[in-house]
Amino acid sequence: MAPKVLISDELSDAAVQIFRDRGIDVDFMPELGKDKEKLAEIIGNYDGLAIRSATKVTPTILEKATNLKVIGRAGIGTDNIDKDAASKKGVIVMNTPFGNMITTAEHAIAMMFAVARQIPEASASTHAGKWEKSKFMGVELTGKTLGVIGAGNIGGIVCDRARGLHMKVLAFDPFLSEEKAAKMQVQKVEDLDDLLKRADFITLHVPLTDSTRNILSKENLLKTKPGVRIINCARGGLVDEEALAELLKSGHVAGAAFDVFAEEPAKSNPLFGLPNVVCTPHLGAATTEAQENVALQVAEQMADYLLTGAVQNALNMPSVTAEEAKVMGPWIKLADHLGSFIGQMTDEPIKAINILYDGEAATMNLEALNCALIAGIMKSVNPEVNMVSAPLVAKERGIKLSTTNQEQSGAFEGYIKVTVVTPKRERSIAGTVFSDGKPRFIQIKGINIDAEVGAHMLYTTNKDEPGIIGALGNTMGSMGVNIANFTLGRSARGGEAIALLYVDEPVPAEARAKLAETGLFTQIKPLVFDVV
C-alpha cells in the first residue's frame, strides 16, 4: 500500500505534485491546520504530515496519530511542533533550514535601507498630499559600519551584501574563526561591546536562546554609538523593546527596523507609532521564491523517507538506517551529550574538533556519530542545528574536523573522546555506554570519573583540598536542590580537581553565587542535557 500524506497548510501545487509523481497518496487540505479537532479526528489515517506554521502539532494530535511516521515543516522554525512528544511517538520531525536564507537576508538589507532613508514615513506623507522634502533627511550606507551579530548562514549573506554596498562590516559570532572571517572579508570582533560602540547600524541574525535573549538589553543598548540604527529580522526577544523605545525617544538611537517581536502576532508594541521605526509582520521568508523552495524541499525529503528510509534535515533522529539505529541509539545519545558538554563550556571560536573512537565505537557509522557530536556542540548557540546541517555549519565556519579510530585500548569495550581546540585552550571529554544502555562520562580534562548523565548538572573545578564536598552539599541542601549523583575526580593529590553533580532541578543563580563566595572554586557551570 502506498504511503499516505496529509498537507494541512498552504503548499504549492508543484510540491503536491512531487508526492503524486513519487507514487504517494496525498490529501491537500490547506485549511485543516486551523481546525485542531478535525485534524485530530483524521490524522490517524496518515503516514506523513506536511505543514507550515498554522498547524499546531500538539501531544493530543500526536496521540491520535497512530500511523504517523514523519512531520515535514516547510520552513525553519518548528515551534509549532511538540518535538519531545513526536520523539516519544517515534515520529521524525524534518524542517527545511536553507530554503529561505537569501530571502531573509534581503529583507534585512531592505529594512536597513528603509530606516536609513525613512522611506515608509516619507511615502505615507507623500500619499497624504504633503511635500515634506526637508523633513526626511536620511543617511548613506556607503562608508558606514555595520555590526552583524551572528554570522552564520543568513548573517553571512548579509555580510556579503553589505560589503557590496561598500560598508565596513564587523561580525560578532563565537563560532566564527579568524580564517572564515578573513575569507568573508569582514572584521571579527571578540567582544560584543566593541561592536556596540563602533557600529552605525546593527543587525541581528541569531536564534533565540538563553544566551541570546535580550542580547541587546538596556545595558547593551546604552553602550551603542549615538545615532545607531537597529535592525532585527531574526527572532523576537533578542532586543529589550521597552528600552529601545526609550532610547529612540531620547534620540540616542536614530531608528529601528523590526520584522519580529517578542509577542506575535504583535497587535501592540512599545515600538509602534514611534517616528523612524519601520515594522513589518514577520515577512523575512515571505517571497514567492522562498515559499516555493521550502515547499519543494519538504516534499522531496518526506517522499525520500517514506519510500527509501533516507533521512534529511531531521531534528530528532540521526541519519542512519533502521538496522544501525537499533545498535547505535545509545552511542548517538552519548555523542550528543559529549558535544553538548563541550558546547556549553565553550564561548570562544572553535578552530578544530578532534574525535577518537575506540573499540566498539570505532566499528559503527562514524559519520552519523560525528554528526550527532557536532550538532551537540553547535546547538548550544543555535538550537536549529541538526545532525544533517551541523557538519555544513562547522565547515562554513572554518572548523576543522578530524577523526581517529582504534582497536580497544583500555578497560572499556569502547569509548568516544572529543577534544575541541580554540585559540586559547584545548578542552576534552570522553564517554562510554554501559551494558544498561546508559551513556556515562568517564573522563574530563584528562581526569578519570564515572558520571551518569542527567537533565540538569553542575560542573565545578577547584584545587584539591578539604571542604569541597561539604560546600557543594550544604549549598545545594540549603537551596532545596536534591543531588541524584555526585562524582569527583582529581589529577593528583593537591592538584586540579573536578566535581560533576547530577541534580533533580536546575541549580539557581543564588546557589552558584553562594558557591563563588566561598573562594574554593575556579569554575562553576550549570549544564543542561536532553536525556529524553
Q: Cα 362 to chain center, whole Å?
A: 29
Q: How far is CA 56 from the centre of its chain?
A: 21
Cβ atoms 342, 418 nearer than 8 A: yes
Helices marked H in 53-202 — which ranges? 59-64, 83-88, 101-117, 119-127, 153-164, 178-184, 192-198
- Active site residue: 22, 73, 107, 235, which one? 235
Cα–Cα distance for residue pair 7/414, rounded to 1 Å: 44
User: What whole-number distance in Å separates Cα of residue 102 and Cα of residue 153?
Assistant: 9
Where would I find the H helices in 237-310? 241-250, 288-308
What Rg, from alpha-carbon coordinates, does the chain have?
Answer: 25
CA nearest to 326, candidates 246, 193, 227, 437:
437
Q: Is 235 a catalytic residue?
A: yes
Cell of 387: 545532525
Q: What is the 3-state secondary structure (H, E, C) of 316-385?
A: CCCCCCHHHHHHHHHHHHHHHHHHHHHHHHCCCCCCEEEEEEEEHHHHCCHHHHHHHHHHHHHCCCCCCC
Q: Is 107 part of the annotated catalytic residue set?
A: no
Instruction: Find, among 236, 280, 295, the residue nearest to 52 by Cα.
Output: 295
Does residue 252 carry a catalytic annotation? no
Identified catalytic residue from 264, 505, 510, 517: 264
Which grid coordinates are listed for 120? 515608509
Phi, psi of 43, rounded to the nearest 5 degrees: -60, -25
Candidates 282, 427, 490, 512; catalytic one:
282
For 204, the enclosing helix (H) or strand (E) is strand 201-204
| Closest to 248 in 3D by CA, of 239, 259, 238, 235 | 239
Question: Residue 450 class from Cβ within 10 Å (0-12 exposed, 13-18 middle, 19+ buried)?
Answer: middle
Task: For the sheet with 414-421, list strands across it.
Answer: 400-406, 352-359, 414-421, 426-433, 439-444, 447-452
Residue of 490, 494, 457 whose CA lies nearest to 472: 457
Residues designated as active site = 235, 264, 282
